[in-house]
Structure 1
Amino acid sequence: MRTQYRPLIALVLLTLVSGCRRPSGSAGDDAGTPPSPTPGLQGTVTVKGSDTMVLLGQRWAEQFMKLHPEVKLQVTGGGSGTGIAALINGTTDIAMSSRPIKDAERQMAQQRHPAGPVELAVALDGITFYVHESNPVEALTIEQLKAIYLGDLSRWKDVGGNDAPIVVYSRENSSGTYVFVKDEVLDGEDFTSRALTLPGTAAVVNAVGQERNGIGYGGAAYARRVKELRVKKDARSEAIAPTPENIQNGSYPLSRRLYFYLPKEATGATRAFLDYVLSPEGQEIAITVGYFPVK
């Protein structure tokens, strides 16, 4: 398995990664201390893409711009596909993506910058399936999740729940989370036509929190007033909860990496921004929000 959110002024994700590529000459390479403010640093950094990653970006932007008040950070969501498209057409400095870039996208990006794009795995996340707090179902296998999202299972009693219809919530197809679920849970097959498409993980969580028979999916950091299902690889496997420990050690079956993509090696304000994101202070912010550093 690969391990791989409405406009907001923000910055984005995190994490110092052993073995993960980062901009050459980054300021945090020697010690592990947060980068110091750079006198005279100014400019605008645009960041676009994954809705999953905006929650983190909002916190980072506030702190980075306190250090660098002459730097303006502009972050918008729209989905991973939107961010990568902006990377390709040259309208963003950084693309946020909750999925790896596709080969065809990489090739298109290289038409503008042959040496790019630069990939940074910046955090770990776990795709969580949410149900209403009153739902008696505690765990599902990946095969059961697949059957629900393909439309082959349509009532909760078929998976040990109440005799009620399953109300399926999904994300728009520009979402990296949508792509992850399609690839890793549905084996590339199409979602049921009964699925109700919503524009972000927060909307999915809100819908499931109000619909007693609902099921939806999204990042682990967004689970509020809903039940997170434990997931089993198959019927004989242990049901694993999407806890921080299980996501970080890879035992949770639906763990994934979150990425930054840059058209080329970063300089100036963009590089300073990345140094902050990868610093211990940036990692601590991400952990506080609900994400996890990549080991």
Structure 2
Amino acid sequence: MFSFSRALFLSVIFLFSPHSIGQVLPDYHKIPGLSGNLTSVGSDTFASLVSLWGEAFKTYYPNVNVQVHASGSSTAAPALIEGTAQFGPMSREMRLKEVEAFEREHGYQPTALKVAVDAIGIFVHEDNPVKGLNFTQIDSIFSATMRCGGDKPIQTWAELGVRHKWAKRRIQLFGRNSVSGTYGYFKQTALCGGDFQKYVNEQPGSASVVQSVASSINTIGYSGIGYRMAGVKLVPVAETGNRYVWPDKQSIADGRYPLSRYLYIYINKHPSKLLSPIEAEFIRFIYSKQGQEIVEKDGYIGISPDVAKQELQKVTL
């Protein structure tokens, strides 16, 4: 059940500590005369973060216009391939077929930049007394294939020991649509690569998943934890058994929370050419002290100076 990407995450997660001893991210300093347009097409999950970066960047450069289009991670690769966007935010890694399509068009692979650490939360109605869920139970609720060890579907909260009259009603399921990176990551990780059952109500955005969960007591949904709102509660999660882990910043940063993930921005960087000044400066801003403070304020985990340096090396000659 322990995927390669999950193992890789844990093997290097110490790099993501926002409190690396003796290290600080550099302050951002503007350059003169920068103007132009930046377009971002991709993930809905951290669209607000990209928008906040854009707004802050514009305070340095009033003549820069930043447009953010957030329809889902699957829209990022086509936009980069077609040249309709300079930045492709994704809440998952590009699939092989997406990388191959980009390479056929441009002759080289896209560049992936890790910009923050996030987690998927399991949300239920605020009055639901469930204490926690493991991957076998989550898979048995959401999946038609049950590859995580379940032997039968879970269709009511009563089957999970909830003792209320409403618990005998069928569980209402909410999740993202198939263009979402959250959908793909959740399918691969929490469903062990299995298929969703047909009763999942697919939503076009992360916020709408959580809003839907708040609408009725017998609901459950998955979404980025940053979309928590009144009327719902997060459920602690375990890979196996009942040693549930609450998704706070520490458990996400150290990898104990089992639905932690990287957030990426993909770009079209020719191996032997410099980025345009406006693209290079926006990336430099993201990896600055000011850029990563915005990450933390928006509810995600900022990256360390080591990782910032490592990622910036990908966009320099």
Q: TM-score w.r.t. structure 1 length?
A: 0.88
Cα offset, 1:115, TM superposition: 3.2
Is 1:247 matched up with 2:252? Answer: yes
SS at structure 2 position matched to 1:112: helix
Q: Does 1:176 align with 2:173?
A: no
The secondary structure found in structure 2 opposite 1:217 is strand
Query: Aligned equivalents of 2:276 and 2:173: distance in 1?
Result: 44
> 1:269 aligned to 268, 271, 278, which one?
278
Cα deviation code 1:54-88 (max 9, x no counterpart): 11122212111011111111110010001122112
| Residues 224/31 of structure 1: CA separation in 2 closer, same or farther (3 Å cut) | closer
Q: Is the 8 A contact 1:182 1:191 kept in 2?
A: yes
Aligned position for 1:22: none
Equivalent residue, structure 1, for 2:310: none
Shift of 1:18: 5.5
Q: Residue 133 of structure 2: SS of its match in structure 1?
A: strand
* Alpha-carbon contact 2:292-2:303 (below 8 Å) kept: no
Question: Is 1:48 equivalent to 2:41 in the alignment?
Answer: yes
**1:73 aligned to 2:79?**
no
List aligned pairs for 1:121-136, cutoff 5 A. 121-136=114-129
Query: Aligned residue for 1:147?
Result: 140
8 Å CA contact 1:171, 1:200 repeated in 2: yes
Structure 2 counterpart of 1:259, from 246, 255, 264: 264
In 1: Cα distance, 2:79 partner to 2:55 partner: 24
Q: 2:238 corresponds to which letter in structure 1?
A: K
How far apart are the structure 1 equivalents of 2:48 and 2:217? 26
Percentage of matched positions with identical amino acids: 34
C-alpha distance 168-31 of structure 1, shift in aligned 2 (>3 A): closer
Who is 2:202 aligned against? 197
Establish whether residue 289 from structure 1 lines up as the match of residue 271 from structure 2.
no
What is aligned with 2:57?
Answer: 64
1:233 aligns with 2:242: no
Q: Is the 8 A contact 1:88 1:105 kept in 2?
A: no
- 8 Å CA contact 1:150–1:186 kept in 2: the answer is yes
- CA distance in 2 between counterparts of 1:273 and 1:142 reads 38
> Aligned pair 1:156/2:157, yes or no?
yes
Q: Could you tell me which residue of structure 2 aligns to residue 37 of structure 1?
A: 30
The code of the aligned residue for 2:236 comes to R
Contact kept? 2:28, 2:290, Cα under 8 Å: no
CA distance in 2, matches of 1:289, 1:229: 21
Within the alignment, does 1:110 sit opposite 2:108 as a pair? no
2:265 counterpart SS class: strand
For residues 181 and 161 of structure 2, the distance between their equivalents in structure 1, rounded to whole angstroms, comes to 30
Deviation >6 Å, runs of 4+: none
TM-score by length of 2: 0.82
Structure richer in helix, relative to its length? 2
Pairing partner for 1:101 from 94, 101, 115: 94
Deviations 1:248-285, CA, capped at 9 Å, x for gaps: 00000110001010011532111111111111111111
Contact residue 25 and residue 287 of structure 2 kept, 8 A = no
Whichever residue aligns with residue 156 of structure 1, its letter is W
**SS across alignment from 1:75:** strand
Write the deviation string for residues 186-221 of structure 1: whole angstroms up to 9, x where unpaired: 122221111111111100111111111110111111
The SS at the match of 1:111 is helix
Contact 1:117–1:263 (Cα < 8 Å) also in 2: yes
CA positional deviation for 1:31: 7.3
Q: Distance in 2 between matches of 1:176 and 1:132?
A: 24
**Deviations, residues 7-65 of structure 1 (Å, cap 9, x unaligned):** xxxxxxxxxx969xxxxxxxxxx973322111110111111100001111222121110
**Preserved CA contact (<8 Å) 1:113 1:264:** no
Q: Which has the larger radius of gyration?
A: 2
Q: What runs of 5+ residues in structure 2 fail to find an aligned partner?
A: 17-22, 145-152, 305-317
Task: Tell me which residue corresponds to 1:218.
Answer: 223
- Provide the C-alpha distance between the structure 2 equivalents of 1:74 and 1:172, rounded to a whole number of angstroms: 23
RMSD of aligned Cα (Å): 1.8
The answer as to whether partners of 1:131 and 1:214 remain within 8 angstroms in 2 is yes
Give, in whole Å, the separation in 2 of the partners of 1:149 and 1:157.
16
